[in-house]
Chain A
Amino acid sequence: MRSSLRHTRRVVARYGHARTPCSHLQSRAAAAGQPATQPPPAQTITARIQTRSLSISPSRSSSVNPEEISHFNALASSWWDPLGPSRVLHQMNPLRHDFIRQCQNSSATSSFAPGQKLRYLDVGCGGGIFAESAARLPTTESVTAIDPSTEILAVARRHAARDPALSTTLTYLNKTIDDLPLPTTSATQEDTTTTTTTTRFDVVSLFEVIEHVDNPSAFLDRCGQFVKPGGWLILSTIARTWTSWFTTNLVAEDIIGMVPKGTHDWNKYINEHELREFFRGRPEWWGAPQVFGVVYVPGLGWKEVKGSEKVGNYFFGVQRIQ
């Protein structure tokens, strides 16, 4: 039987309404003592009342939450401000490449021959922090980057126009993963974009996206179909723990105001063991995961800390075995 990841519907009042990018912040706050207020009652996690996807047409959009999208739309203009609310994402970006390389080096098999260039699909690309960087690597053949937010994608396109090196390797599509035609061996009629959508990818990435998605199980299954055998599905997110609630919802939003209130919906956070279970339930497709816990140290930026995936931000990678 397949395991599935479901988000609980929010049964308690949210802590705020304005939203910003997911600058999840796991810092020394973890050691700072008891939270001043209570996190949402534990039963909201276990109750798992129902998933939002039931009310949204599964064929068009297994995952998109319109509230989430409007939140990110509002953020579009500050996306590339290196001192703005997305600074933590910018700072995290190099580690994503380190993690992908670590995953690829961990396995004897691979989706590409030595010296061959890689094809990336970046899902929920936002302003393109990762997509641009992947497209600039000399080892990259192409990057296809998709995001459901029109405003953010406009920012992404405008920003990419500032770098002539990107024009040949980077393609933005204002689409959800459900809109992308499933990879087949031959190009289909409907495929008017490029043939790239019909070929599988060496790397499919979902950075800080899964926690904003309504039906993560269906979303991951769909994304997984775009991975080449031997390729990797890579994601980063934040664990749903007392610590993460405390640091992202209380400290980051309420106390130091590092990110505006409402950035994080703690109920949507997914724990590392839940992801493990999910992929373990699909052994015919996926190998054993690679995990990399990271901690944001104020003044120093992101650092890998072994074991921290249990409490805060983490990278997660699984290789498709067939």
Chain B
Amino acid sequence: MDAVVRARTAAYICRSCTRRFQLQRRQQRTFASASAAKPDIYDVVCVGGGPAGLSLLTALRSSPVTSHLRIALVEAQDLAKIRSWKLPPDRFSNRCSSLTPSSAQFLDTIGAWDHLKRERVQAYHEMQVWDGVTDARIEFDWAPGTAPSAGTTIAYMTENLNLTSGLLSRLEELGGVSVFDSARVERISFGEETEELDLSEWPVVQLAGGKQLYARLLVGADGANSPVRSFAGIEAKGWDYDRHGVVATLELEGEGWGGDQMKIAYQRFLPTGPVAMLPMPGNYSTLVWSTTPENASLLKSLSAKDFTAMVNAAFRLSPTDLQFMHTQESGQAEEVSWRLEQTPFSRQAVPQTVTGVQEGTIASFPLKMRHADTYIGERVALVGDAAHTIHPLAGQGLNQGQGDVQSLAKTIEYAVSHGQDLGSRMSLEPYLSERYAANHVLLGVCDKLHKVYSVGSGPLVPLRSLGLNAVNALGPLKSFLMNQAAGNGIKVF
């Protein structure tokens, strides 16, 4: 059973420390002298230079309304390495995301899309989704008038590093951001109150080495274990799925059944979770296989040959066969080729055969669902995974973050053009109301889908035992995916 868990609180800044600090501050106030070093004040301090943080800063820098703001970025990693990221054309990073057309549109608006290595971005135009137990398939029958013409892009497969590297290149072009990278946030506290200036509600980000950044608005784009969220005392509630997402870069026998111009994404719902194969340029694809932690560690321990065989099996063999092969330490390749001979399947209904896996690309991540209680506080806003973490089955995590960023940038723009203090809660309210409910619905949908299609919970189990066609139950997923594809946003159930 899923257990409700509370977000882990970063050890180095917890609420009680903040409180203690506030108390200290009060005592210190009497000693605060006018000769104290002049505070280094920024309009926006963004902690986290992942897809969400970098997009936000790019959006703010590229808008004439907000380009005069004083902005700082704090990132633990070395951004120079990401900026100069480069792989040969036949190698792909294992962390890929599907960008929806609306995310791509947004990235284009802020001038970042052209900075991506476009030859490494793969649009796809069709999806094959089916139930692993009943083999029921979703047919994408578009309602009259809503059908995107053949070849319409459903989403763009992009390496996360291609995106972040492109965003950094665009930010560099725009200039004007004080970047503190390879920089650990040591502590976040509040400023001081003196006769002339009352900064007691201003977050102060202290970096290792002593540098202090005062923030009119502190943005937490610092991922699922967000230190900014802990500082703000905002809780994130949710579930651990007891599942891992196994990722890998795969090499296929060809460019796909539809060729270069009609790329297809595949997803099969297995009782342990969905397995997805998403097209990359040429003969390559990226794998996201959600499965139990035990299965995940077995998969990671296999030889490239056995791993490849298991991936082929995941899209072809029965769940029972698959389960059996997860009990073997090796020899999957032989086992699979024998079993495939016994299993009838339509070749073109499943992805082309995987012929290899790129070295060093097999990895896994624990899957969880988290939603922060709120995205805003006085002088604090959370975006991206800091605000919500979603099951990857619908490929929406990064896209949700882009939606957040678009909304927050618009909210800040409105505040600036109307003279509001962009860090005040009141100014941030439109961001919260625009995004919270939308994200909540999406989180709920993906959570439900995960449960519906997993054995051990959910209503599908009795339905299946009655032999009912699962197509009906796949309906919500279908309408969800179609709405996303048509750019209608979130309208499910």
A residues within 8 Å of B by Cβ? 82, 90, 93-94, 97-98, 132-138, 140, 158, 161-164, 167
- Whether A136 lies near B419 (C-beta < 8 A) is yes
Partner of A94, one of B68, B418, B424: B418
Asked whether A135 and B426 contact (CB < 8 A) given A158-B198, A164-B41, the answer is: no
- Whether A164 lies near B420 (C-beta < 8 A) is no
B residues within 8 Å of A by Cβ? 39, 41, 68, 196-199, 201, 216, 414, 416-421, 424-426
Q: With CB as the reference atom, state the residue of chain A lying closest to B196.
A: A161
- Whether A135 lies near B198 (C-beta < 8 A) is no
What chain A residues lie within 8 Å of B416 (beta carbons)?
136, 138
Interchain Cβ contacts under 8 Å between A and B, 22 examples: A82-B424, A82-B426, A90-B426, A93-B418, A94-B418, A97-B419, A98-B418, A133-B418, A133-B419, A133-B420, A135-B419, A136-B416, A136-B420, A138-B416, A140-B419, A158-B198, A161-B196, A162-B197, A163-B216, A163-B421, A164-B197, A167-B197
- Whether A138 lies near B196 (C-beta < 8 A) is no
Distance, CA A137 to CA B421, complexed state (A): 10
Distance, CA A158 to CA B196, complexed state (A): 9
A172 smallest CB distance to B (angstroms): 14
Distance, CA A167 to CA B196, complexed state (A): 9
Asked whether A132 and B425 contact (CB < 8 A) given A94-B414, A138-B68, A162-B198, the answer is: no
Q: With CB as the reference atom, state the residue of chain B lying closest to A137.
A: B419
Asked whether A93 and B196 contact (CB < 8 A) given A82-B426, A138-B68, the answer is: no
Looking at chain A's contact residues, the main secondary structure is helix
- Whether A94 lies near B420 (C-beta < 8 A) is yes
Partner of B425, one of A82, A162, A164: A82
Partner of A162, one of B39, B68, B201, B426: B201
Q: With CB as the reference atom, state the residue of chain B lying closest to A94.
A: B418
Asked whether A132 and B421 contact (CB < 8 A) given A158-B198, A161-B198, the answer is: yes
Distance, CA A134 to CA B419, complexed state (A): 6
Asked whether A162 and B199 contact (CB < 8 A) given A82-B425, A82-B426, A90-B426, the answer is: yes
- Whether B419 lies near A132 (C-beta < 8 A) is yes
Distance, CA A163 to CA B418, complexed state (A): 16
What chain B residues lie within 8 Å of A93 (beta carbons)?
418, 420
What chain A residues lie within 8 Å of B417 (beta carbons)?
97, 137
Distance, CA A167 to CA B414, complexed state (A): 22
What chain B residues lie within 8 Å of A132 (beta carbons)?
419, 421
Distance, CA A133 to CA B421, complexed state (A): 7
Distance, CA A82 to CA B417, complexed state (A): 20
Q: With CB as the reference atom, state the residue of chain A lying closest to B201.
A: A162
What chain A residues lie within 8 Å of B421 (beta carbons)?
132, 136, 163
Q: With CB as the reference atom, state the residue of chain A lying closest to B69.
A: A138
**Most chain A beta-carbon contacts within 10 A, residue among B41, B416, B419:** B419
B158 smallest CB distance to A (angstroms): 35
Distance, CA A134 to CA B199, complexed state (A): 21
B381 smallest CB distance to A (angstroms): 16
- Whether B68 lies near A97 (C-beta < 8 A) is no
What chain A residues lie within 8 Å of B216 (beta carbons)?
163
Q: With CB as the reference atom, state the residue of chain B lying closest to A97.
A: B418
Distance, CA A162 to CA B216, complexed state (A): 10
Distance, CA A162 to CA B199, complexed state (A): 6
Distance, CA A93 to CA B427, complexed state (A): 11
Known interface pairs A136-B420, A137-B417, A164-B39; 4 further A-B residue pairs with C-beta atoms within 8 A, sorted by A's residue number: A82-B424, A93-B420, A162-B199, A164-B197
B90 smallest CB distance to A (angstroms): 50
What chain A residues lie within 8 Å of B198 (beta carbons)?
158, 161-162
- The 4 A-B pairs at the shortest CB distance, nearest first, are namely A133-B419, A94-B418, A136-B419, A82-B426
Distance, CA A98 to CA B414, complexed state (A): 11
Distance, CA A97 to CA B420, complexed state (A): 11
B213 smallest CB distance to A (angstroms): 14
Distance, CA A163 to CA B417, complexed state (A): 17
- Whether B197 lies near A161 (C-beta < 8 A) is yes
What chain B residues lie within 8 Å of A140 (beta carbons)?
419
Q: With CB as the reference atom, state the residue of chain A lying closest to B38.
A: A164
What chain B residues lie within 8 Å of A161 (beta carbons)?
196-198
What chain A residues lie within 8 Å of B41 (beta carbons)?
164
Distance, CA A38 to CA B250, complexed state (A): 80
Distance, CA A134 to CA B421, complexed state (A): 11
Q: With CB as the reference atom, state the residue of chain A lying closest to B39.
A: A164
Q: With CB as the reference atom, state the residue of chain B lying closest to A143.
A: B419
What chain A residues lie within 8 Å of B418 (beta carbons)?
93-94, 97-98, 133
Distance, CA A82 to CA B377, complexed state (A): 12
What chain A residues lie within 8 Å of B426 (beta carbons)?
82, 90
What chain B residues lie within 8 Å of A134 (beta carbons)?
419
Q: With CB as the reference atom, state the residue of chain A lying closest to B41.
A: A164
What chain A residues lie within 8 Å of B419 (beta carbons)?
97, 132-137, 140
Distance, CA A296 to CA B414, complexed state (A): 19
Q: With CB as the reference atom, state the residue of chain B lying closest to A82.
A: B426
Distance, CA A98 to CA B419, complexed state (A): 11
Distance, CA A14 to CA B41, complexed state (A): 50
B288 smallest CB distance to A (angstroms): 41
